[in-house]
Amino acid sequence: MTDLANLGTRRQPMPRPATLDEYLRIRPQMIDTTGAPLVLTSCESCKRQHFTVEPCAAEAPCPRCGSAAGRCRRPSGHAAASWHAERAAAFEELCNTREAAGLPQVARWPEPTQPPAAPTLFEWDQP
Ligand SMILES: [Zn+2]
Ligand SMILES: [Zn+2]
């Protein structure tokens, strides 16, 4: 595990949103770990919209279902509604590693998080 004590202390300027609607409303005000506004990109690799500073879903394949696409897969082969917990944890770890290496990442919410169960934005369906 990455040493979380080395990571930046800059936090989002608003509380963690509770719903997708709230998230979409505050998204334009979200910042990265240097305080710069986040920029959304429509990613060709994972066919999702995500912030330019975020690792791509394709870089965080799922340890459980093996999916490297934007969505995890159910055993039936259909796309799952949210990422498997193992993948969310692996993604979080990837973000932490990059931040520790000096790359800006999405700033954390002001509320304390409890790794490795720290929820990521991927738990919500993208519109
Ligand atoms: Zn991507
Ligand atoms: Zn999965």
CA of 70 to the centre of ligand 1 (A): 7
Task: Please report, rounded to a whole number, the percentage of residues in the chain having pLDDT higher than 70.
Answer: 82
pLDDT digits (tens, 9 = 90+) for 44-69: 999 888 999 999 999 999 999 999 99
| 4 has pLDDT over 90 | no
CA of 61 to the centre of ligand 2 (A): 8
Q: Ion ligand 2 — residues with CB under 5 Å?
A: 62, 64-65, 72, 84, 87
CA of 93 to the centre of ligand 2 (A): 16
Both structure tokens of 36? 């710069």
CA of 68 to the centre of ligand 1 (A): 10
**pLDDT score recorded for residue 78:** 93
Residue 127's pLDDT band, with cuts at 50, 70 and 90, is very low
Q: What is the mean pLDDT of residues 74-81?
A: 92
Q: What is the mean pLDDT of residues 24-29?
A: 95
**pLDDT score recorded for residue 114:** 54
Bigger pLDDT: 113 or 90? 90
86 vs 74: CA distance, rounded Å: 14
Q: What is the mean pLDDT of residues 6-15?
A: 80
Domain positions in the chain are: 1-127
Q: Which ligand number lies closest to the CA of residue 82?
A: 2
